Amino acid sequence: MDIRDDIREFLTTRRARLTPDQVGLPDFGGRRRVPGLRREEVALVAGMSVEYYVRLERGNATGVSEAVLEGIVRALRLDDAEQAHLYELVRTANQGARPQRRHGRAKPLQVRPNVQHLIDTMDNVPVIVQNGRLDAIATNKLGRALFAPMYDEQQSPANLARLVFLGQSAERFFRDWDETAHQTVALLRTEAGRAPYDRALSDLVGELSTRSDAFRVLWASHDVRAHQTGTKRVHHPVVGDLDLTYEAMTVTSERGLLLIAYGAAPGSASSDALRMLASWAATSGQVSETTLPK
C-alpha cells in the first residue's frame, strides 16, 4: 500500500461525491470531465491556492498544516471517521522513510488471562475481541457459537473479512450482506490508514482482492468507518434469525484490540433465540460449522 496513492485516491473519491450546490458554490452548467467537484472548487471552499491543493491531492503531504487539513475537512464534508483517516494518512506521509519490515509474520495478538476470564463470565452475551485486521483474537463460548461459520475456516486466526467475502455460507448467514460487506471493507481501509506497513494486513487485502471481485470494487471506493455501535442481522443455522445490536469498546490494556458485545432487545424473539443458542453451545462442546445442522 503506497501512502501517496492512498492520499490521492482518498481525496479524489471524496470530492467525486459532491456537487457545487452541496458546498454552496454556483453551478454554471456545462459538461464536467469528472464527476463531483473540480480541484479548483475544493481549493476555493478550503481557502487555499489551487496549486497547493493539487500538490496535496497528488500525494505530497509533506509539511501540511493543521489549518490546511481543517479547510479540506470542511470543503469535502468529511465525517469523523474520514477526518481521522485523512489525518492518519498525512501523519504517515510525514514520518519520512518507509520503516523496514521484519522477516516472517508477526505473532498473533493474544489477550491477557484476566481479559479472557472476564469475557468467559459473560455467558449470556456473545463477545468477540478483534484487532484492526478483524482477526478474532478471543471469544467466549456464546460468541464462538454465534459466529460458528468463521471458526470452520482452515486459516488461523479466524477472520471476519474472510468469512464475509470467501465464506460459502456468508450471504445466507448475513441477512444484510451488502451492508456488512461495505462496513467490513471500510473498517479494513481505516486500519490501513493507521497501519500502512502492517504485513499481515497487506497480505489479507491482497488475498481478498485476488479472490473476491466484490471486495476489490469496495476497496477501490476508499470508504472508511469507525467501529463503535450498530446492528447485526444474521440467520443462524441453529436458532434462525437474530436481530442484534452491538457495542465496540477499546481494550485499554491491549493496544489495538476492541471488545465487541452483542445483545438483543429484552423480551424479543432474538432474545429468546440467544438463550436457546447459549443452551445449545453449552451442550455441544467445541463449536464449529461442522457441528451445525445441515
* Domain co-membership, 147 together with 275: yes
The residues that bridge with 229 in the sheet, in sequence order, are 247
Confidence of residue 285 (pLDDT cuts 50, 70, 90): low
Nearest to 7 by CA among 68, 30, 35, 41: 68
Task: Tell which of 93, 126, 151 closes a domain.
Answer: 93
Residues 116 and 285: their CA atoms lie apart, in Å, by 18
CATH code for the domain of 251 = 3.30.450.180
Neighbouring CB atoms inside 10 A of 97's CB total 5
Return the pLDDT at 105. 45
Q: Are 80 and 226 in contact (CB under 8 A)?
A: yes
Nearest to 69 by CA among 51, 50, 89, 40: 89
Residues 193 and 82: their CA atoms lie apart, in Å, by 10
DSSP 232: E
Query: What is the count of structural domains for the chain?
Result: 2
Residues 112 and 97: their CA atoms lie apart, in Å, by 34
* Domain co-membership, 243 together with 186: yes
Owning domain of residue 273? 113-291
pTM of this prediction?
0.87
Strands (E), the chain: 127-130, 136-139, 229-236, 240-250, 258-263
Residue 106: inside a domain: no
All 3 cell numbers of residue 18?
Answer: 459532491
Characterize the bridge pairing of strands 127-130 and 240-250. unpaired
Residue 89: inside a domain: yes
Q: Are 120 and 140 in contact (CB under 8 A)?
A: yes
Arithmetic mean of pLDDT, 72-89: 96
pLDDT(293) > 50: no
Residue 100: inside a domain: no
* Domain co-membership, 203 together with 261: yes
Residue 75: inside a domain: yes
Backbone dihedral angles phi then psi of residue 264, each to the nearest 5 degrees? -130, 155
* Domain co-membership, 126 together with 234: yes
* Domain co-membership, 160 together with 69: no
* Domain co-membership, 34 together with 123: no
Share of the chain above pLDDT 70, in %: 89
* Domain co-membership, 9 together with 48: yes
Residues 56 and 63: their CA atoms lie apart, in Å, by 10
pLDDT(30) > 70: no
* Domain co-membership, 9 together with 66: yes
Return the pLDDT at 39. 93
* Domain co-membership, 66 together with 134: no
Residue 105: inside a domain: no
Residue 104: inside a domain: no
Residue 101: inside a domain: no
Confidence of residue 143 (pLDDT cuts 50, 70, 90): very high
Peptide bond before residue 20 is cis, with ω within 30 degrees of 0:
no
Task: Tell which of 93, 122, 156 closes a domain.
Answer: 93
Cell 471481485 belongs to residue: 213
Cell 453551478 belongs to residue: 27
Residue 28: inside a domain: yes
Confidence of residue 153 (pLDDT cuts 50, 70, 90): low
* Domain co-membership, 72 together with 17: yes
Helix or strand run (H / E) with residue 188: helix 177-194
Confidence of residue 29 (pLDDT cuts 50, 70, 90): low
Nearest to 93 by CA among 123, 126, 124, 56: 56
* Domain co-membership, 60 together with 122: no
Residues 189 and 186: their CA atoms lie apart, in Å, by 5
CATH code for the domain of 28 = 1.10.260.40
Q: Are 72 and 64 in contact (CB under 8 A)?
A: no
